[in-house]
Chains A and B, each alone.
Chain A
Amino acid sequence: MKAVIAREDVGRLLAIAARRDELHVPVLDGGGGRFVPLNAEDPVPRDGLMLNGSSARRPPKEVLFAQTAPLFAFELRRGDFSIDELPPEAATKVLFGVRPCDGRGFRVLDSLLLGKCGTDPAYASARQGSVLVGIGCGRPGSDCFCTSVGGDPHGTDGLDVLATDLGDALHLESLTDGGEGWLRAIAAAVDSPLTPANPETDQRCREAHEEARGRVPRHVDLEPLDAVLERAFDDELWDDLAAACIGCGACTFLCPTCRCFDVQDEVRGDRGLRVRVWDSCMFREYTQEAGGHNPRPRRGMRWRNRFYDKFRWGAHDGQPACVGCGRCITHCPSGVDLIDLVERVVESGGAA
């Protein structure tokens, strides 16, 4: 199904969507923006929706793959140990305003968290029935390179609905059954502001897609990378590449496809909570073993892990696990640039 909505009516659409499901939208928050839940009574967030311009600094990953997910509570009561399972959240989650790269990012999350190795219950229940309503990028950000990793500023992979910004209106197109159902339900609402698409809007849509593609500012050729990575693991180059890195987790915490976690027991007195929390392969403790040994003692080795994860181990369906959002580049405090690294790895050719 295709539909069009006037820009000034977006608030009304969001109000309808928020009445139906648990709706999350990107808003400016003083820290570059993130997804927050929107309630039906208060459809326009005070700090401003981030639907035009660039992506929210924090990707929507955290809505479905929460940074902190309580798994169960436990308690010691008069010598008895009891465990309370925490029922998974039931509400259907709709994410409105997901950038195409971030939409593809969920595919990468799915491949691990719903994959062959088992299912992460917290993620699975949040992901169950979720609807990802994407918004294309008319103005890609300064370090975007989605087109180099198989994406596009109006890519559809991973999304359920794609919205295209036509300036005075948004053009909505459903891409999956879930998206179709959602869009139909919105259209069917009594006060629905949707109007049917027409050949003219279709045409403008195609033009917008074409134009945006040309605006993606950065490019990298991944073609030669795989062959080099085959050989480069034991190369000395990694320490050099990582020389400026300070080993913070900013890049991984902002990445829409990083999905490492740790499990911790947080105990106070006789009660405790087992939580799943994000972790980062850029941290030293990530591989620190209880006996003191650390198989990845140097930053170079940690960077190598992140790099191989993005371009080799994490790759699936022939696509890298990096979706080219550029966040790790823009926000690295040390000026480490992933594209530059790819180029330097390729240039090195890998050890013989």
Chain B
Amino acid sequence: MSVPAALDRHLRDLLSSGQVRCVLGPAAGCGPRGTAHLARTPEAVDRFELSPLACANVLVHLTSEEARRDDARRPVAVLARPCETRMLNQLLSERAIERDELHVVGLGGCRGVIDSRKLRERLPELRGFPEVREEGDTFVIEGEGMEPVSVPRNELLLDRCSGCDISEPLFHDHTFPLADAAPTSAAEAECAPEPSDEGWDYWADQFERCIRCYACRDACPLCYCEDCVLDRLRPMWVPRSVSLKNNTAYQLIRVLHLSGRCTACGECEQACPVDLPLLTLARKMEQEMRELYGARSGFDPEGRHPMSVFDPNDPEGTDFEEQGR
């Protein structure tokens, strides 16, 4: 059993009372990457894991084609870290899921999770899913047959966590504190990297590497269209041929379809098998939406998509002379 006793009891009660049909949350993987777990029986609650390494893309399973077809998945209880409640808000605002289908178990006092790819790089000899303890500003990693290793937090934190300014769930039905964690200090929150302006040559290098596996789209909790334009053959928005040009079109369309909705959760970047800096794009667009329209996705469950509304005070997008530079 890897979740605190009180939480374990709560989840089991939810399932055995029939209040929810299943519980969705993170579990340990076979390797250092966490995995999503769907518990349909009280016994299956055992597999949940709240270690900072068990950060799986859980929410994508709420909106996947599979979940939409499976009535038995709703109502569903979700174990959600604070940033995940933000994503849930966004999904609610889009009516991708209804509030009464959800039971949100918020995990409070989040100090951030570990990027398994950074951990692998740091400790290549690591096998299996290690134990992780938090001690002050370090993570102590205890792998199979290895001496415990201390690694400074900032070397392992997931990119989305550095710069995260919410440490408590935005809303919840029940909340549980993550084991004696102190909330993120403001100083840590401020170190969100400014997306830098790299120019076309840099981006060409990136887009050229893409193998068009569609993992970035499939991993995105907000990419739930049944009929995605990126799959369309008629009209063929993006030809299937893999080339710099087509890959760029693919990525720009994906990013535009998410602008104003994307919560910069970084699941796209985590999923990319060839390490495209997709979170950089996501963050850039998030920042633009904020700057231009004061729009912040995922903070208002009733909010409208900023690309479908306007404000009389919108900054002039039409200074025609200015645009020509």
Which residues of the other chain, B, contact A143 by a CB distance below 8 angstroms? 31
User: Does B14 count as interface, using CB distance less than 8 angstroms?
Assistant: no
User: Does A348 count as interface, using CB distance less than 8 angstroms?
Assistant: no
- Contact A31–B276 (Cβ < 8 Å): yes
Rounded to whole angstroms, the CA-CA distance of A262 and B239 in the bound complex is 12
- Contact B218–A331 (Cβ < 8 Å): no
- Contact B239–A266 (Cβ < 8 Å): yes
Q: Which residue of A lies closest to B33 (CB)?
A: A335
Interface residues of A in 317-352 (CB under 8 A from B): 329-337, 339-340
User: Does A217 count as interface, using CB distance less than 8 angstroms?
Assistant: yes
Rounded to whole angstroms, the CA-CA distance of A266 and B243 in the bound complex is 13
- Contact B124–A142 (Cβ < 8 Å): yes
- Contact A275–B127 (Cβ < 8 Å): no
Rounded to whole angstroms, the CA-CA distance of A54 and B34 in the bound complex is 23
User: Does A249 count as interface, using CB distance less than 8 angstroms?
Assistant: yes
Distance (whole angstroms) from the CB of A156 to the closest CB of chain B: 27
- Contact A31–B274 (Cβ < 8 Å): yes
Tell which of B175-183, B189-197, B209-217, B292-300 binds the partner: B209-217
Which residues of the other chain, A, contact B303 by a CB distance below 8 angstroms? none
User: Does A2 count as interface, using CB distance less than 8 angstroms?
Assistant: no
Rounded to whole angstroms, the CA-CA distance of A297 and B64 in the bound complex is 13
* Size bracket, chain A contacts: 35 or more
- Contact A57–B218 (Cβ < 8 Å): no
* Also in contact, A244 and B31, with CB within 8 A (given A249-B213, A333-B219): no
* Also in contact, A58 and B243, with CB within 8 A (given A243-B38, A339-B30): no
Question: How many interface residues does B have (CB within 8 Å)?
Answer: 47
User: Which residue of A243, A246, A339 contacts B57 across the interface (Cβ within 8 Å)?
Assistant: A246
- Contact B31–A248 (Cβ < 8 Å): no
Which residues of the other chain, B, contact A30 by a CB distance below 8 angstroms? 205-206, 209, 275
User: Which residue of B31, B127, B240, B271 contacts A277 across the interface (Cβ within 8 Å)?
Assistant: B240
Q: Which residue of A lies closest to B65 (CB)?
A: A284
User: Does B79 count as interface, using CB distance less than 8 angstroms?
Assistant: no
Rounded to whole angstroms, the CA-CA distance of A55 and B239 in the bound complex is 30
* Also in contact, A283 and B214, with CB within 8 A (given A244-B56, A266-B241, A277-B242): yes
- Contact A264–B270 (Cβ < 8 Å): no
- Contact A250–B213 (Cβ < 8 Å): yes
User: Does B148 count as interface, using CB distance less than 8 angstroms?
Assistant: no
* Also in contact, A31 and B219, with CB within 8 A (given A68-B243, A142-B120): no
> Besides A31-B209, A67-B211, 11 other CB < 8 A contacts?
A30-B209, A32-B275, A67-B212, A142-B124, A246-B64, A246-B219, A248-B217, A262-B240, A264-B239, A335-B35, A336-B35
Interface residues of B in 235-274 (CB under 8 A from A): 236, 239-243, 267, 270-271, 273-274
* Also in contact, A244 and B35, with CB within 8 A (given A31-B276, A334-B56): yes
Which residues of the other chain, A, contact B65 by a CB distance below 8 angstroms? 247, 284
- Contact A253–B36 (Cβ < 8 Å): no
5 contacts between A and B (CB under 8 A): A31-B276, A250-B273, A254-B273, A264-B241, A337-B30
Rounded to whole angstroms, the CA-CA distance of A329 and B267 in the bound complex is 18
- What 9 pairs between A and B have smallest CB-CB spacing? A335-B35, A31-B274, A335-B29, A333-B271, A248-B215, A337-B30, A248-B218, A335-B33, A249-B213
Q: Which residue of B lies closest to A70 (CB)?
A: B241
- Contact B271–A248 (Cβ < 8 Å): yes
Mask of A111-134 contacts with B, CB within 8 angstroms, 1/0: 000000000000000000000000
Dominant SS at the A interface? loop
- Contact A244–B37 (Cβ < 8 Å): yes
User: Does B135 count as interface, using CB distance less than 8 angstroms?
Assistant: no
Distance (whole angstroms) from the CB of B124 to the closest CB of chain A: 7
- Contact B209–A264 (Cβ < 8 Å): no
Rounded to whole angstroms, the CA-CA distance of A267 and B236 in the bound complex is 9
Interface residues of A in 230-255 (CB under 8 A from B): 243-244, 246-250, 252-254
Q: Which residue of B lies closest to A326 (CB)?
A: B31
Distance (whole angstroms) from the CB of B50 to the closest CB of chain A: 16
User: Does B101 count as interface, using CB distance less than 8 angstroms?
Assistant: no
Q: Which residue of A lies closest to B215 (CB)?
A: A248
Rounded to whole angstroms, the CA-CA distance of A49 and B233 in the bound complex is 39
Mask of A31-72 contacts with B, CB within 8 angstroms, 1/0: 110100000000000000000000001100000000110100
Which residues of the other chain, B, contact A247 by a CB distance below 8 angstroms? 64-65, 218
User: Which residue of B57, B120, B206, B211 contacts A333 across the interface (Cβ within 8 Å)?
Assistant: B57
Which residues of the other chain, A, contact B60 by a CB distance below 8 angstroms? 246
Which residues of the other chain, A, contact B243 by a CB distance below 8 angstroms? 68
User: Does A29 count as interface, using CB distance less than 8 angstroms?
Assistant: yes
Q: Which residue of B lies closest to A298 (CB)?
A: B66
User: Does B96 count as interface, using CB distance less than 8 angstroms?
Assistant: no
Rounded to whole angstroms, the CA-CA distance of A90 and B215 in the bound complex is 34
Distance (whole angstroms) from the CB of A38 to the closest CB of chain B: 17
Distance (whole angstroms) from the CB of B247 to the closest CB of chain A: 11
User: Does A296 count as interface, using CB distance less than 8 angstroms?
Assistant: no
Rounded to whole angstroms, the CA-CA distance of A273 and B120 in the bound complex is 42
Rounded to whole angstroms, the CA-CA distance of A243 and B39 in the bound complex is 10
User: Does B126 count as interface, using CB distance less than 8 angstroms?
Assistant: yes
